Amino acid sequence: MGGITGVANCIGRSSSQAFDLHCPLGTLPLAFGTRLDTIPFAQAYVPAPSAARVKTWEDRLGPPNRFRVGLVWAGNPDHKNDHNRSLALRTLAPLLDCDVQFVSLQKGVRDQDRAFLDERSEIVDLTGQLTDFSETAALMSCLDLVISVDTSVVHLAGALGAPVWTLLPFNPDWRWLLERDDSPWYRSMRLFRQPKRGDWASVVDHLRLELEGQVSEWRSSQEQSSLLPA
């Protein structure tokens, strides 16, 4: 946050520094009188992670010989709407047959998901090294796509300008609006909505179809690159 243009000073929540005014981040659109046509539609506004930090994650992941996709399937269980926005990892099983290197970005894996995650070697789990959002940002920079339910991860990806597909419940948070597959807040984001309450199966089917198309395009691009003269 401290590296964002316009931020003069970034102070921890525990600081006792005095201030004259305070406005919660989520209230700023009201304070600014923001409308759809006045949202600052930036390509990216969070500074890119350092090359050295990204290189560390590239080394951990190994050679990029497959399309890389980061996964987040659940948010904070204490969130009042968590029962609508989060899903069981097993629900994403149809995606795991795609020719993709899946990389977990999921912090705090729930007990009911742990056994399934341990069984699926398709999902690389290095989340023990994700000590803060800077590390998550660096890992995202090594991926081709992030697929996530509505958590802080999708906002980080959007702020970085990283390609991200956000899975939304039928009755989403206000910021995602209704009946659209893009977001006015983030250029790099696509929205995948439940067509009816609780229907994650059709969302995953749609995701799989779109993901297979992305993988095919990536593979063709890689083949063309290999034909170019050195």
Each residue's pLDDT tens digit, 173-211:
988 999 999 999 999 999 999 999 999 999 999 999 999
What's the confidence (pLDDT) of residue 230? 66
Question: What angle do helix axes 133-140 and 51-61 make, rounded to 10 degrees?
Answer: 70
180: which residues sit within 8 A by CB, 6+ positions away? 191
Q: Is pLDDT at 16 greater than 90 in this prediction?
A: no
Determine contact, residues 150/185, Cβ cutoff 8 Å. no
What's the confidence (pLDDT) of residue 4? 81
CB atoms within 10 A of CB 110: 14
CA atoms within a 13 Å half-sphere pointing along the CA-CB vector of 45 = 14
Determine contact, residues 56/170, Cβ cutoff 8 Å. no
Q: Is pLDDT at 71 greater than 90 in this prediction?
A: yes
The CATH number of domain 51-224 is 3.40.1160.10: no
CB atoms within 10 A of CB 163: 19
DSSP string, 29-40: HHHHT--GGGS-
- Cα–Cα distance measured from residue 181 to residue 201, given in angstroms and rounded to the nearest whole number: 18
Q: List C-alpha distances in Å: 24 to 21, 30, 155, 171.
A: 10, 10, 16, 24
Q: Are strands 189-193 and 164-168 parallel, antiparallel or unpaired?
A: parallel
**Six token digits for residue 153:** 């991860």
Note the pLDDT tens digit of each residue in 28-63: 989 999 998 998 877 888 889 999 999 999 999 999
Q: What is the pTM of this model?
A: 0.92
DSSP string, 172-188: --GGG-SS-SB-SS-TT
pLDDT level of residue 3 (50, 70, 90 thresholds): confident
Mean pLDDT score of the chain, rounded to an integer?
92
